[in-house]
Structure 1
Amino acid sequence: MSPPSTALAQPLDGDLFHSDPERFRLLVRDWFATALSGEFSALRGVGGPGREHEAFDERLVWDRHLAAAGLTCIGWPVEHGGRGATMAHQVVFHEEYARADAPARVNHLGEELLGPTLIAFGTPAQRTRFLPGIVGVRELWCQGYSEPNAGSDLAAVRTRAVLDGDRWVIDGQKVWTSLAHVSDWCFLLARTDQEQQRHRGLSYLLVPMRQPGVEVRPIQQLTGTSEFNEVFFTGADTEADLVVGEVGDGWRVALGTLAMERGISTLGQQVGFRRELDALVELARATGALEDPALRDKLVRARIGLEVMHAHARRTLGSDAPGAASVSKLVWAAWHRGLGELAMEVLGAASLVARGEPYDLDRWQRLFLFSRADTIYGGSDEVQRTILAERVLGLPRAVRR
C-alpha cells in the first residue's frame, strides 16, 4: 500500500476536541468517510480479535495515517502529545470509528495501556523517550504478564530480573502474549526480589523485544491463526532506569495498567458487537431461521443484553468505583461468547462444515471459536468474581496455596 496522501492527513483543529460534541461527531464522521473511500477502502472491517493477521502492514500504515491527522492518543494530555479531548469527545470518536467500520488498530497496547501507565507512573525521562513513539505509531508494544503457571493468578509470576551493573538481566517465560511477534517493546512484570513472594518484590520493566535473548514462538489457535505467542527471555536485558514506578512496586503499577484496559474504547467495541448482531439477524432472516420462535426469542434477548451492556458502560464511564471494571468485563465477555453460540444455532448443520481445505472458516465459525476465549483473556470470569466478592462484598479472601 502506498503512503497516505497529504490531503487526507491534514490534522483536525485542536479546538474541535473541546467544541460541541455533536459538531465534532459530524466532522469526525466525514473525515472517516473520506479517508476510507480511497486507498484505505479495502481495510473496512479488517482485523480485530482472532483476525489480527489480516492486512497487518496495511493497518500499520492506516494507524500512522491517523497519527499524521492527530487522531491517535486523543484523550492524552496535550503536554504528552495528545489532544486533551474531553470524555464526551473520546466517546464520540470511538463510536464513529466503529460505525465507519474502520480497521482494527495495531497500536492498542501502546496507546490504551502503556501510554496512560507512563503518564500516571513513569518518570519524565521515560515519558520523553517513549510517548512520542506511541503517538506517532513508530514503536509497537506487547504485554508481558501471563506465564504458564501465572495466568489468572498474576501474583505467581516467576520471571526473574536481576540487576547487573546498569542493566536488568531477565530470565523466564511469558505466554498468551498478543502481537509479540510484531512488537518492538514489551512492558513486563518480573520478580526483582527473590526473597519476597506473591505481590511483593515485583517490578514493571520496559524491555526491547529485538535482541538475542528474546525468542517468540507463535501459538496456533482453534481459528487457525496465531496472534498469541510464547515469549522466552534467556539472559535478555534492559536498562536499569527502565523500571516504571519504584523497584518492587510493580504490582501496583500492573493493576493500574489493567484498570486502563477497560476504558472508553469499550463503547466502540459495543458498536462492533451491534454490527455483528445485526448481521446475524439478517442471516437468520435470509436462511429462514428467524421463523423459529425459540431462536427468534434468543435473538431478541441478545438485543436486550446489548442495550443493558451499553447502558452500564455509559453509566460507569470514568468511574473508579470498586468492581466497576470487573462487572463490565463479566457482562461483555459472557454476552459476546453467547453471540458466538447463537451464530452456530442460526447456521445449523452448516456450522459444522468448513468452506474449503484445509481449514477455511467463515466469519461466524471464527466468532464462535475465538469468543470462547472472551471469558478468559483480560482477566478470567473467576478472577473478576473473586475481585467482586473480596473488594465489593467484603467476603473472606479465598485461600491461595
Structure 2
Amino acid sequence: MTGTILVISHGHVDFSAGGAEVAAYQLFAALGKAEAARKVVLLAGHHAGEQSGLITVLRNNEFLWRTGMRDWFKFQSGVRDAVTTSFRRFLGGLKPDIVFVHHYAHMGLELLREIRHTCPRAKIVLTLHEFQAICANNGQMVKRGSAELCFGESLQACVGCYPDRSEEDFWLRKHFIRRHFDAVDRFIAPSEFLRQRYIAWGLPAERIAVIENGQPEGARLAPRTLAPGGLRNRFAFFGQVTPFKGVDVLLSALANLPRKQRKDIHVEIHGANLANQDEAFRNRIEALRRPLMEEGVLHWPGAYHRDDLGRRMARIDWVVVPSVWWENSPVVIQEAFRFGRPLLCSNIGGMAEHVRDGIDGLHVGVGNTSDWGETLVSAAADMEGWDRFYRTMKTPLPVERAAERYLAWALDEASPDLGASPRLVADI
C-alpha cells in the first residue's frame, strides 16, 4: 500500500459527465474502495462561476478547483497565481506519492510542473484522452474548413488550418507543451491508435501504456423482446450532438433511403448540446430531423443522466457511432459492450480499433451516407448476425481491473503493453 494518491480531472461528474471526467472519477472511487493507498483524493477543475483559483471541499476527499484557461492555444492557466498559490498549498498539505492527471484543460499545463516542483518524489501519470496537444483544432485532427481527416501534424499543415498564425507559433506551441510533459513520468492512452499518434509526435514509446477506460461490472441486458416477425431495427446514438459526432451523416443516410426501406427503421438520438452549436449546424440538423420525426422513423429523446442509460439501451438493438473524426476510445463503445448492444461505427481510429468488425458489430465508411443507409437496412434484417454479435462481443475491462493496471504502471510493475496479467493491487 502506498501513502497518498491524488487523481486530477478537468471536471467533476456532478457537473460535467464527459468520458474523461467519468474515467477519472471511476479511478478515484475504485482506488479508494480497494484501499490502494492510505488516502485517495480527487481534485476536479470547476470552471462555472467566478474563476478565483480557490480550492474548496465538495465532499469527503473530493475537491473543486475554481480555475480556467487564459490561453487555449498553449493551455496556460487563466487565473493569476492559481497554480503557484492555491494548488501549491494544496499539494504541500497533501504530499501525494502518486498523481494521476486525467487532463490539463481548464486548469493549465503549469500544474504538471508545479506537481514536480512541490512533490519532487511523486510519480506523475498523465492520461491522454484525445489529441489536443498535437492538434490546435480542438484536438480533432480534422482540417478546418474542409473537415478532411488529418493524418499527422506538421508546421506547414497546421498553418494551413490557421493562416493567421506562423510556423514559429506552432513550433513554440509544440515545444512549450513538450517541456511541460517532461515533468510526467508515464503516460496512459486508452487506445493503441492514440498511443501511436503521440509516439509519432515525439513521446517515447516506452513511456506510454495502453489501458482502456473501465466499466462497472454487471450482467449485460437481455436482448430486446420482439413481437412475432419483429426485426432488430432499433438504432440509437448516445452522446454530444456536434459536427464531429456525425449525427448529420446518420440523419442524411436515413433521409436518403427509399420510403419503403425507411419505414422499417427506427432511429433514436439520445444527445445533448445541440443548442450550443453554431447556427449553420443547428439549421442543418433541424432541416434533416423534422420530416423524419413527422414520419415516425426518428425519435429524439435528448439528453440523459448516466444512471438512466441502461433503461434506454434496453429499448434498442444497436448503438451507432457515426463520428467523422478519429475518436480515441469513446465511452459509449464500452457502455454498449457493458449492456450487450452490438455497434455500428465509423471505420477509422479508436472506433475501428475497439469495435472488431464482424465480431462486436460492423464498420461503416466514415461520412459515407450511402454506406450508412445500406448498413442500417441490412443490419435490421440480419437477425442471425445480431445474435452472433451478442454472443461474441467483448466484455469491457472492469473499472477495478483498470485501476489495478493504472497503479501497476505508476509503480513500475508493468511493461508498456502491460502484458496479460499485471500484479493485483492487493499484491503491491
Greater relative contact order (Cα 8 A, min sep 6): structure 1 or 2? 2
More helix by percentage: 1
When normalised by structure 2's length, the TM-score is 0.24
Question: In proportion to residue count, which structure has more strand?
Answer: 2
TM-score where L is the length of structure 1 = 0.25
